[in-house]
Chains A and B, each alone.
Chain A
Amino acid sequence: MLSITSLTLYVALAPLVVAVLIVSCLWLPGPRKTLPRAPDLSRGSRPDAAAKAVLGVSATLVLLYSVTDGLRSLWGFGINSGIYEYRWWTYAEVLLSAIVVVLCVLGLLRGFKHSSAVRVAPSRPRTWRSFTRTGRLWSLLTVTVVLLGFVAFAGSVSSPDSEGIYNTLTIDAGGDNTASTIFFGWAYGLPVAGAALLLVALSLAAIHINAVRPFFRPDTVAQEAVSRSMLSTLILWFSTGVLLDTLARALLQVSQAGVLSIQAQGFTWETSVAALSPSLQWVSYAVESIGYVFLLLVLTVAVRPRRGDATAEQITTHGKKLESHG
């Protein structure tokens, strides 16, 4: 017979185990070629390595925080501790941390030395789309839309508590037959929605700043283009992973609250999300696993050894040396 602590531990670790298995499959020789890899930017000082390290460390910390979330709740630090106190940042804290991380990356990309050793004349416009694969961008935008939609759904079925804060799910069966439980209502959802939108906006801004930086030298344009593509991917994966992690926590909370019911006068009253509750629980584990996959990919790409080559195609894509100067 499993104790509650063991069960919580298994439940907390299961999505991580699934994610590790998926990422291990992606590291097989075939699929591994599609994963980004940092080039060897030996010439010139570029902030790419520092930004990559920041993202890698942050992804690890988010993973650790998220995996231990269930255990912390059980040990009395979270929302289920019995001594409930409303904190608007309860579900937005990972997003807020991610915002700080992306701001750090933005600061590194903007604040680092920008002057080139040899000026590289541009041949094409460089924008946030230049080094970003459309599919990866769509992943972020799709997850954001789903999260915002879920915030709206959960908020619409939530009820205010005695202080008027929309953080409960209430069953009102008439008379004294009412019951309520803590819920992912507007009070938690709106900070999550605001933080999610800010994170997406900052991520796109970081990708744009990453793209429009001047190149360092004409002969390193190819390597720098590869590095920018990798950074852009890491930023998108990190933000997508954090959004998925937040969505998973919200889904699980709604699922847990949905089991509330009242039995009176031979009838049973259930919440408006009771029918969805079992499905939402499994969906939350699946979403959490996918979120972990993104975060693990950030970590593994960040620690992957650099490569020394780059495709010649990219040399002609983004810039050239003006021949009259050098």
Chain B
Amino acid sequence: MADYTAGEIADHYRGLVLSGQLGAGDRLPPVRQTARDLGVSPGTAAKAYRSLESGGVIVTRGAAGTRVAEQPSVLPGELLGHLRAAVAYAKASEIDSSSLLSAVRALWDDSHHTA
């Protein structure tokens, strides 16, 4: 099984915040839980948390744990609605997530070329 990098772990939590699934003040799992669940060393998970903290996504408040920052950057509601619809449509059409993400990435790159 492949090991997750700190960057991938940070991306996971950033995605949860951007999509509004983790809101301002919500608690993140402790570093040890993240490490245990993903089968990585606590150091790797801690590195991901530090990266999120330096990016202003999360704050660490001692005993209160690690929480999402007060004003996290969240994708606009309309865009999230479109994304949810796209995901639901893909699932209904039995399109797997990697295919959908590849298509989104290709469309994103294409928009750069045409812009």
Contacts and interface: CB of A to CB of B under 8 A. Distances in A.
Contacts of B57: none
B104 to A, nearest CB: 11
Given A323-B98, A324-B8, A122 B37 contact: yes
B48 to A, nearest CB: 11
B38 A322 contact: yes
Interface residues on A, range: 20 to 34
B65 A119 contact: no
Interface in A299-326: 316, 319-320, 322-325
B8 A116 contact: no
B37 A319 contact: yes
Contacts of A124: 26-27, 29
Given A125-B65, A325-B8, A119 B27 contact: no
A214 B97 contact: no
Contacts of A35: none
A212 B36 contact: yes
Nearest to A214: B37
Interface residues of B, number: 25
A136 interface: no
A115 interface: yes
Nearest to B38: A119
Contacts, number: 57
Contacts of A292: none
Interface string B30-66: 1001101111000000000000000000000000010
B54 to A, nearest CB: 21
Contacts of B26: 124
Contact of B4 (A114, A126, A319, A325): A325
B97 A123 contact: no
B33 A123 contact: no
A280 B26 CA distance: 48
A276 interface: no
A120 interface: yes
A215 interface: yes
A121 interface: yes
B1 interface: yes
B34 A122 contact: yes
B39 A119 contact: yes
Interface of A: 114-116, 119-126, 212, 214-215, 316, 319-320, 322-325
For the complex of A and B, 8 pairs with smallest distance between CB atoms:
A122-B29, A125-B29, A214-B37, A122-B37, A121-B12, A325-B2, A119-B38, A125-B27
Interface of B: 1-2, 4, 8-9, 11-12, 16, 21-22, 26-30, 33-34, 36-39, 65, 97-98, 101
